[in-house]
A and B are shown apart, each in its own frame.
Chain A
Amino acid sequence: MSRSFTPKVITANALLEGDVIYWSPEGTWVRTLSSAEVFEDEAVAQEQLLTASSQPAVAVGVYLADVAITDDGPTPIHFREEFRTRGPSNYAHGKQVKLS
């Protein structure tokens, strides 16, 4: 019996900078959520998670994060993931610098 699967992206932190990264359709790590591959099939997501986790000298703490699919691309569901797409709220530091 199939159950509903919330779409997901694969995310981690980059080893060298610590910056938030996402797994892309090309099988590389990218810096923005909009460039991330969105998985709508759980089996594919799990399989790609294993592949993405096999680069320990690039990515740290690889996991699946829930997203919603919108006209603007994937957007985070949880506020923690939303903060990870832009950076802290007290200074314009982190990803939001390039986004703005």
Chain B
Amino acid sequence: MYQYNDFDAAFVAERNAQFRAQVERRISGALTEDEFKPLRLMNGLYLQLHAYMLRVAIPYGTLNGAQMRQLAMIAETFDKGYGHFTTRQNIQYNWPKLKDVPDILDRLAEVEMHALQTSGNTIRNVTADHFAGAAADEVEDPRPTAELLRQWSTDHPEFQFLPRKFKLAVTGSAADRAVIRAHDIGIQIVEKDGEIGYKIIVGGGLGRTPMIGKTLAEFLPKADLLPFVEATVNVWNRLGRRDNKYKSRIKITVHEHGIDDIRARVLTRFEQIKPTFKGVDRDLFAQIQQNFDAPAYRNAPVDAHTAMRLANPAYASWSDTNITAHKNDSYAIVSISLKKHGATPGDASADQMRVMAELAETYGHDELRISHEQNVILPHVHQSDLPAIYAALREADLATANIGLISDIIACPGMDYCALATARSIPVAQEIAERFDELKLEHEIGALKIKISGCINACGHHHVGHIGILGLDRAGVENYQITLGGDGSEDAAIGERAGPGFSAEALVPAIERIIETYLDVRSEKAETFLQTYRRVGMGPFKAALYPDSKASAA
């Protein structure tokens, strides 16, 4: 893992001291809210519906046991004993008091964490594949690239007042688990003729105007990364619409100017600035990379796992859904579900955080990851340790066997917390998960991603959900629109709206009708929901969703 050097530590300490003084001046009345708001946002502090919310960065979703323990301590000392893991691999505290936030930031700094650039019109936390460094299908670990981008973008003087926020995601695999095509810039590490380089995708994004990113560079030599990304952000910083926040993201700039025009501008700027980098970035990358060496893998028999699978059906079921192939044959990647049926997606109690920290320290080479799907990953687990891990997870109520299934739902905080929300998301996720658990259908249904957002800004990624749900305010009543066929993977697609929205009461029955239709029309059990949708289209689902309008449609 990356370790702070003296510069990093001093920088974070200085920023924390500045913010402490700003909070003091705000409380004394020396600063107005208008003056203070941009300062608190630069430090990840929002004022939400019922309380403040502090968003803490977990760079590329990677943390160690000590950091997870510290997050637990903060949850207990300064909040209500839990934290919420988000779709951008961050953690949010929903109840901090203003006067405590400087202390929280100091506690975070003790474990090399911070809340810088988790809000505001800056380059946000760089996200990455949550299986980074462990995935069997990886060309290269994306985290050194993500860390390089983090260092470059943190406090970058040119990019502190961008037209709007800017989000980067990096993956090292062709199978896209980081939704890179829905980011302002998505970076895929690729190999061509034995050389490692980058495929650069630009102008993806969800929100009000969802778009799938377009390829800006098919193969960028590794050494060109920072000047190329800097050139891209520079072009948008000058062209991007500051007059209209709905048109300010780079996806609109790319859409309005066309990808070829943007590419030409980026290349012109790239040629100008490339000589100024002088190889410093490459030296830095080499240093960073040393922090991400693979752990010292253990060589031991894996019989315990195999035997347990045969002996314990619950364990077998959990290992079917929550275990992914590791690049080392004797190892496994464990996904810990934060989606117990009826629980809040992405929430973990302080006790649960400590259990996960302990498991990482004892069995997982001290590594943890947060996924954009709001689960926690133990990336390096020897298979012989899986039964012990399962037992510990069960004890902590963390052994739900549902990764990738219908109850593994992404949901934004929605109007239970968020000041921007137009409807609630969390109760919808809870009801859907409980309903399908009650029906005992979720393993029969198989791979299916439901994603729920409580407003058009789409933090819950509803556009790329196989089933997407968008909560709106329709004449003072919560109303939910359904989209079908979205996909956040390498075959990214924006879901298609099924028709008029549903009331909160009618929504779960509507989802049930979609699922009944799928089970009815799928060609075989192996055909996933998304495959079925792509084969048969909207028709049968629409007919099931709106039975009364059948006659008029015919």
Please give, as numbers and ranges, the residues of chain A lying within 8 Å of B94 by CB-CB distance. 88, 93
Determine whether A13 belongs to the interface, using a CB cutoff of 8 Å to chain B.
yes
Q: In the complex where A15-B26, A89-B424 touch, is A79 in contact with B52 (Cβ < 8 A)?
A: no
Closest CB pairs A-B (n = 10): A57-B29, A88-B416, A18-B51, A18-B52, A90-B344, A94-B50, A90-B426, A60-B33, A56-B32, A89-B427
Could you tell me if B97 and A17 are in contact, using CB atoms closer than 8 angstroms? yes
Alpha-carbon distance A67/B80, docked complex (angstroms): 30
Alpha-carbon distance A15/B94, docked complex (angstroms): 15
A sample of 10 more A-B contacts (CB under 8 A), given A17-B98, A79-B477, A80-B49, is A15-B27, A17-B97, A18-B50, A18-B52, A61-B47, A83-B416, A84-B49, A88-B426, A89-B427, A90-B426
Q: Quick one: which of B374-431 are within 8 Å of A by CB?
A: 415-417, 424, 426-427, 430
Please give, as numbers and ranges, the residues of chain A lying within 8 Å of B473 by CB-CB distance. 79-80
Please give, as numbers and ranges, the residues of chain B lying within 8 Å of A80 by CB-CB distance. 49, 415, 473
- Looking across the interface, which residue of chain A has its beta carbon closest to that of B417? A88
User: 1/0 per position for B258-275, CB-CB distance to A under 8 A?
Assistant: 000000000000000000
User: 1/0 per position for B1-31, CB-CB distance to A under 8 A?
Assistant: 0000000000000000000000000111100
Alpha-carbon distance A15/B45, docked complex (angstroms): 13
Closest CB-CB distance, B20 to chain A, in whole Å?
15
A-B contact pairs, 14 of them (CB 8 A): A16-B97, A17-B97, A18-B47, A57-B29, A60-B33, A61-B33, A61-B47, A79-B477, A83-B424, A87-B50, A88-B416, A90-B344, A91-B80, A93-B94
Q: How large is the interface on A (under 10, 10 to 19, 20 to 34, 35 or more residues)?
A: 20 to 34
Determine whether B301 belongs to the interface, using a CB cutoff of 8 Å to chain A.
no
Q: Quick one: which of B439-497 are within 8 Å of A by CB?
A: 473, 476-478
Q: Name the one of B28, B48, B424 contacting A57, with C-beta atoms under 8 angstroms.
A: B28
Please give, as numbers and ranges, the residues of chain B lying within 8 Å of A90 by CB-CB distance. 344, 347, 416, 426-427, 430
For chain B, the count of residues having a C-beta within 8 Å of the partner chain is 31
Interface SS majority for chain A: loop
Determine whether A38 belongs to the interface, using a CB cutoff of 8 Å to chain B.
no
Determine whether B95 belongs to the interface, using a CB cutoff of 8 Å to chain A.
yes
Alpha-carbon distance A86/B124, docked complex (angstroms): 32
Please give, as numbers and ranges, the residues of chain B lying within 8 Å of A16 by CB-CB distance. 27, 97-99
Closest CB-CB distance, B55 to chain A, in whole Å?
14
- Looking across the interface, which residue of chain B has its beta carbon closest to that of A56? B32
Closest CB-CB distance, B98 to chain A, in whole Å?
5
Alpha-carbon distance A84/B418, docked complex (angstroms): 11
Task: Identify the interface centre among B27, B51, B80: most chain A CB within 10 Å of its CB.
Answer: B51
Closest CB-CB distance, B132 to chain A, in whole Å?
31
Q: Quick one: which of B27-48 are within 8 Å of A by CB?
A: 27-29, 32-33, 47-48
Closest CB-CB distance, B46 to chain A, in whole Å?
9
Q: Quick one: which of A69-89 are within 8 Å of B by CB?
A: 77-80, 83-84, 87-89
Q: In the complex where A56-B32, A88-B50 touch, is A79 in contact with B416 (Cβ < 8 A)?
A: no
Could you tell me if A56 and B80 are in contact, using CB atoms closer than 8 angstroms? no
Please give, as numbers and ranges, the residues of chain B lying within 8 Å of A18 by CB-CB distance. 47-48, 50-52, 97-98
Alpha-carbon distance A17/B473, docked complex (angstroms): 28
Closest CB-CB distance, A77 to chain B, in whole Å?
7
Please give, as numbers and ranges, the residues of chain A lying within 8 Å of B416 by CB-CB distance. 83, 88-90
Q: Name the one of B26, B29, B51 contacting A17, with C-beta atoms under 8 angstroms.
A: B51
User: 1/0 per position for A30-42, CB-CB distance to B under 8 A?
Assistant: 0000000000000
Could you tell me if B51 and A94 are in contact, using CB atoms closer than 8 angstroms? yes
Please give, as numbers and ranges, the residues of chain B lying within 8 Å of A52 by CB-CB distance. none
Closest CB-CB distance, A98 to chain B, in whole Å?
13
Could you tell me if B426 and A19 are in contact, using CB atoms closer than 8 angstroms? no
Determine whether A20 belongs to the interface, using a CB cutoff of 8 Å to chain B.
yes
Q: Name the one of B32, B48, B478 contacting A79, with C-beta atoms under 8 angstroms.
A: B478
- Looking across the interface, which residue of chain A has its beta carbon closest to that of B422? A80
Could you tell me if A79 and B51 are in contact, using CB atoms closer than 8 angstroms? no
Could you tell me if A15 and B417 are in contact, using CB atoms closer than 8 angstroms? no
Could you tell me if B426 and A89 are in contact, using CB atoms closer than 8 angstroms? yes
Please give, as numbers and ranges, the residues of chain A lying within 8 Å of B26 by CB-CB distance. 15, 57
Q: Quick one: which of A3-59 are within 8 Å of B by CB?
A: 13, 15-20, 56-57
- Looking across the interface, which residue of chain B has its beta carbon closest to that of A87? B50
Alpha-carbon distance A55/B194, docked complex (angstroms): 65
- Looking across the interface, which residue of chain A has its beta carbon closest to that of B504? A79
Please give, as numbers and ranges, the residues of chain A lying within 8 Å of B430 by CB-CB distance. 90
Q: Name the one of A56, A78, A83 contacting B476, with C-beta atoms under 8 angstroms.
A: A78
Closest CB-CB distance, B477 to chain A, in whole Å?
7
